[in-house]
Every structure is written in C-alpha cells, then in structure tokens.
C-alpha cells in the first residue's frame, strides 16, 4: 500500500486509505503529480517521501537520511528491474474474490 498522510489522502479523494485499491490509486495519482511538477524521478520520489514543499524549498532532494535512503533504494530497484529484461503481461487473480479480466505487468525473474 502507499503511505499517504491523512491530509494528502483527502486531497486525492481517498475516502478510505485502508482500502487497498483506493490507497494504491491515490498513491499513484500523487506520484504522477510529483513527476508532472518536478520532471525528474529523483525529485518526484523525494517529494513523495518528504513532501513537495521540501523539494521547492531546497531545489533538490533534501539531505534527510530517510529521504535519501528512500530515493536511492527505489531508483536502485528500478535499475535492477530494468536490467532483468522485458516485462510480460499476466492475468491477475481478481480482487476480493471477484473474477476480473485486468492484467498486470510483471518483470520476469
């Protein structure tokens, strides 16, 4: 699940942050908004973790241990996943026991 502060969840229209689907959709919208504003993955991830005001304040990822570690870990994981090769669509198992035709993209391991 995404880590959404209560005020951020409300701004994103996430009525129930404990609902997995609502939470993930809200988190994805929030990260997309950070990418749209800051245009760089490191800055968007820093804004997601420390808040967009911190990126605006410093003009870079702030030197907070937690934020630097978060950004570094995510970017390393992305580089690793890309190095594993193309992703393959697979059918999902459905949500809450309901059949679905949605697909998810997973890296081959």
17-75 residue pLDDT tens: 999 999 999 999 999 999 999 999 999 999 999 999 999 999 999 999 999 999 999 99
- The reported pTM is 0.74
Q: Tell me how far apart the alpha carbons of residues 81 and 100 are, in angstroms, rounded to a whole number.
A: 26
Among 8-12, 34-38, 82-86, 99-103, the least confident range: 99-103
Question: What's the residue count for the chain?
Answer: 109
Pair 71, 46: CB distance under 8 Å: yes
Beta-carbon contacts of residue 8 (< 8 Å; ≥ 6 apart): 30
């Amino acid at each position: 699940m995404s880590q959404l502060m209560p005020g951020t969840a409300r701004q994103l229209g996430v009525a129930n942050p404990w609902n997995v689907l609502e939470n993930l959709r809200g988190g994805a919208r929030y990260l997309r908004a950070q990418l749209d504003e800051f245009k760089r993955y490191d800055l968007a991830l820093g804004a997601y973790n420390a808040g967009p005001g911190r990126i605006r304040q410093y003009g870079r990822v702030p030197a907070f241990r937690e934020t630097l570690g978060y950004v570094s870990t995510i970017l390393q994981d992305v580089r690793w996943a890309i190095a594993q090769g193309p992703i393959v669509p697979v059918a999902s198992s459905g949500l809450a026991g309901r059949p679905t035709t949605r697909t998810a993209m997973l890296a081959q391991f």
